[in-house]
Structure 1
Amino acid sequence: MHHYESTGHLLLTPVDREAPARAVRLRELNLGERADAELDAFARRIAQTLDAPHAGVNFVGEERQFFAGLHHAPDAAPSGYPARVLARDHGYCPHVVVRRRALVLEDVRDFARFAGNAVVDGSGIRSYLGAPLTDRLGVVLGTVCAADVVPRRWGPDGLATVKDLAAELAERLQEREDRPA
């Protein structure tokens, strides 16, 4: 189902009916408001594992996205993406969160819905791979993702890898929650 603005234009960012509950859960877990060295290290691992110049652990709130974990390869072309904070209508992670499924974009320009995204024009991102980060209550908190400034074939192995990384990080976040304060 497509959602349209009152002007009749296709909305590029899907309606997110779970955002209020997600925002509450992110506050309970103390996530999505500050950079996190452990999550930065995990983002670096995502980038290394997928051989991607950019990677992140992104928590999607009601109005914005926050990359609590972020990595740019030292030799990566300066793209400005992702910044720690993005508007909710920028990038591809909000689609992963609403769909509750991984998203593979080998060349974002091949898809009208994604080609017009501000991240393409502002940063030169051309390919994206992301998987939902789902907690033990079934709340999709955000994503683990990788991006590149050139089109690339992530393939079935890339898709399986990003899903495995998301599952691993979900377990780590659960362990964090279970630790005594």
Structure 2
Amino acid sequence: MSYDPPRPAGRLLLTPEDKDAPARTSRLRRLGLGVWPEPALDAFADRLAQLAQAPYAMVNFPDGERQFFAGLHTPPGGREARGGKPEIGRTLPRDHGYCPHVVVRRKALVLEDVNDYPRFAGNPVVDAYGVRSYLGAPLIDSTGMALGTVCVADLAPRAWGRTGLDTIKATAADLAGRLERRNADGSFL
């Protein structure tokens, strides 16, 4: 696997090269996904956040340049609820966060404390948003393509454990199937 060169930031940061991004973007467009927020995916993210008891939950469709959160749950209550940090919006650059790693690896990623992993501790979401733990799984469709991810994140270290890993993987598999069975009216949940 090759990687983009690290960004000069004083800390190790390697964002994996995503050779499937053009094909993924095309597949997402055929499915009508990854362009605008989806109320059903926002509701999905709300349920996922509640299930994981996490302040952030996302359904993320990355392309070659950015990540797009078609489903997003953020904590209510302004900066105080986010430890004084700004709110995560619908898009992030590709080198922010951990979903690009999940998509390229095509495997779930568990980071109970991102500071325990030099490769991930320098990620911009740590300083910009205060993210300290992450749990994500790829959305693999019937063609075998990783369309994106479902993930949760917290501002504190979290012991996600085996239960968390099993839950995020099952949730991703279920949603991937629903995305492909999308109804003519756009509903799938």
Give the TM-score of the pair, scaled to structure 1: 0.91
Question: For residues 79 and 169 of structure 1, what CA distance do their matches in structure 2 show?
Answer: 30
2:104 is matched with 98
Question: For residues 87 and 123 of structure 2, what CA distance do their matches in structure 1 show?
Answer: 13
Contact 1:106 1:128 in 2 (8 A): yes
Question: For residues 154 and 4 of structure 2, what CA distance do their matches in structure 1 show?
Answer: 29
1:127 is matched with 133
1:65-84 equivalence runs, <5 A:
65-74=67-76, 76-77=81-82, 79-84=85-90
Aligned amino acid, residue 166 of structure 1: A
Aligned amino acid, residue 26 of structure 2: V
Cα RMSD over matched residues?
2.1
Q: 1:146 aligns with which of 145, 149, 152?
A: 152
The reply on whether 1:41 has 2:47 as its aligned counterpart is no
Question: For residues 136 and 41 of structure 2, what CA distance do their matches in structure 1 show?
Answer: 16
> CA, structure 1 residues 93+6, in 2 after alignment: closer, same or farther (shift >3 Å)?
closer
> CA, structure 1 residues 11+117, in 2 after alignment: closer, same or farther (shift >3 Å)?
closer
2:116 is matched with 110
Greater shift, 166-175 or 2-11, is seen at 2-11
1:60 is matched with 62
Give % identity.
Answer: 59
Contact 2:16 2:104 in 1 (8 A): yes
Q: 1:175: how far off? A: 1.3
Contact 1:13 1:89 in 2 (8 A): yes
Give the TM-score of the pair, scaled to structure 2: 0.88
> CA, structure 1 residues 21+122, in 2 after alignment: closer, same or farther (shift >3 Å)?
same
Aligned amino acid, residue 52 of structure 1: A
2:32 is matched with 30
Question: For residues 126 and 40 of structure 1, what CA distance do their matches in structure 2 show?
Answer: 22
Q: Secondary structure at the match of 1:146?
A: strand
Q: 1:2: how far off? A: 5.8
Q: 2:161 aligns with which of 155, 165, 176?
A: 155
Contact 2:49 2:56 in 1 (8 A): yes
Contact 2:52 2:164 in 1 (8 A): yes
Equivalences, count? 179
Greater shift, 56-65 or 78-87, is seen at 78-87
Q: Secondary structure at the match of 2:34?
A: coil
Q: 1:101: how far off? A: 0.1
Q: Secondary structure at the match of 1:73?
A: coil
Q: Secondary structure at the match of 2:181?
A: helix
> CA, structure 1 residues 15+81, in 2 after alignment: closer, same or farther (shift >3 Å)?
farther
Extract unaligned runs of 5+ from structure 1. none
Contact 2:4 2:14 in 1 (8 A): no
Question: For residues 177 and 4 of structure 2, what CA distance do their matches in structure 1 show?
Answer: 37
Contact 1:3 1:11 in 2 (8 A): no
